[in-house]
Amino acid sequence: RSYQLEAEYLKDSILVIAPEGFKLSLNSDFSNATDTLILENGTVNRTEIYVQFSPYEEEGRFYQGNILHLSYDADTIYLPISGQEGTLSLTSIAVARERSIGERVKVQGVVIGGNNHFENKRIIQDKTAGIAIQGLNSGSLTFGDSVEVEGILTWDNSCLGILPETEIHFLSSDSIVVEPQIMNIDAINADVQSQRVRIENLEFTSEGQFTVGDYFLIGSIADSLIFRLNGEAHPLVGKDIPFGKVNLTGFIGRRNNSFIIYPEFEHDLEIIPRDTVLIVDAPSEGLNFGNVLLDEYSEVKSYNLKAENLSENLSISISENFEISLLENSNYNNELELPINEKGDIPEIEIFVRFLPIAARGGEISGEIVHISGGQEQKVKLKGIEEIITLNQVFKEKKFLIYPNPVRSELKIESINGEVFLYQIIDLEGEVLLEGQLKNNNVLVLDGVENGIYVLKLSINNENYFHRIIKK
């Protein structure tokens, strides 16, 4: 409000004094507002004086009084003035969040976080929304306190908050905890900022131990969320970052366009127990190697396996007459041990198997591959037929005994008289593929020779002997 003042022929300056709860100014924007004005000249042309009502004590108080106009040897002029201080109504936090920055609001809520992240800032929530509070006695609030806050809406670091004007009023301590909303990452937005949420089936993208800082979480799809620990005293600092799936509870914050979840307690990070998985990808009927000659070995067969969350290394053993290896063409043995990584996992790997009959009885030979780790066990059935070398597989040519033929790997050549002899393996185009010198009871290994028909040339005492060999 404003009024006009005019004076003539005064002997001294004019003193204008406002009563309690009011301010005076010569400017409509109330710059340099004061409770006392001094007009220096004895004669005052018509002057506009602006009056502002500024209540400051009790909510709802009625203020009244007089603006006094004083000057030496002049009558005192009284201008009656009054004002009723308005009452600030309690609103929900959702309604308060719709108000303009700088407006005064009064809300009630339960503290849902902040103790383990901030010195003075706390997050409160009612049934409608959440908001930050910071100032005066906010640093003394703990999780679960029910409070009433009256103050001014502020915006700081992408966070809407209330700056308390009076001491925050405790309604009760250790109130019922606000139950979190169960949400997916893709549903996190500004509408749930400063609210307590629970997000399930998340994974951390990093390993090691937690320190103060940010960590990325990913959900079942491409969406991601920042997980933040903001204080050295947080109970999760120094703990191992879990691998595998987790459920997470906390309040939502924001940094520019990125949303952040702040867990308040260690138990807010719930590790989902991992199933122990051992997958052996082999035919249900097992591996069948067909017919193989005694002391020969079969063509290689293979299967895949992988494992998750094993308690110890995976031991693999195989029955007699069979061999296994991690390499297709070498290092065959009767057992393997596959190490697990720090997660208890074994990435998918191929296992090679071959049949090497040594029973010397002929007929079908059965066996199995046994995979064992802790309480996990998987088996693969094996079967092959051992063939005993018969006369029609043995070639006797004067000074040599040659078998088996057809041959898979090892061609045995015996000199009947125990003499040293020379050999050559020649293809049908006349090219010499292998040659060398052998003694009695020697074995010629044909692993590097492709399947087909070849000529075996044996030379002794300037005599040459030729025989057709089938490699299969």
The 10s digit of each residue's pLDDT in 117-169 is 999 999 999 999 999 999 999 999 999 999 999 999 999 989 999 999 999 99
- 349 and 337 in a single domain? The answer is yes
- 444 and 429 in a single domain? The answer is yes
- 116 and 23 in a single domain? The answer is no
pTM of the model: 0.60
- 311 and 381 in a single domain? The answer is yes
We report the CATH number of the domain holding residue 402 as 2.60.40.3080
The 10s digit of each residue's pLDDT in 41-83 is 777 889 999 999 988 776 678 899 999 999 988 899 999 999 9
- 286 and 379 in a single domain? The answer is yes
DSSP per residue, 333-388: BSEEEEPP-TTS-EEEEEEEEEE----SS-EEEEEEEEEEETTEEEEEEEEEEEEP
Pairing of strands 181-183, 196-204: parallel
Token pair recorded at residue 220? 């079942």
- 189 and 165 in a single domain? The answer is no
We report the CATH number of the domain holding residue 224 as 2.40.50.140
Lowest mean pLDDT segment, chosen from 132-146, 213-227, 253-267:
213-227
User: What local confidence, expressed as pLDDT, does residue 167 receive?
Assistant: 94
Give the CA distances from residue 334 to residues 92, 128, 317, 355, in Å, rounded to whole numbers and listed in that order.
73, 67, 6, 11
User: Residue 394: pLDDT above 70?
Assistant: no
- 39 and 79 in a single domain? The answer is yes
Residue 463: pLDDT band by 50, 70, 90 thresholds? confident
- 288 and 382 in a single domain? The answer is yes
Token pair recorded at residue 416? 């009947």
- 292 and 371 in a single domain? The answer is yes
- 223 and 137 in a single domain? The answer is no
- 282 and 353 in a single domain? The answer is yes
| Residue at a domain's end among 223, 247, 271 | 271
Radius of gyration over every alpha carbon of the chain, rounded to an integer in angstroms: 47
Q: Give the residue with greater pLDDT, 472 vs 396.
A: 472
Task: Report the domain count for the chain.
Answer: 5
Give the CA distances from residue 142 to residues 119, 156, 161, 173, in Å, rounded to whole numbers and listed in that order.
11, 22, 17, 8
Q: List the domain range (segments joined by +) for residue 44.
A: 2-84
Residue appearing with tokens 């999780």: 143
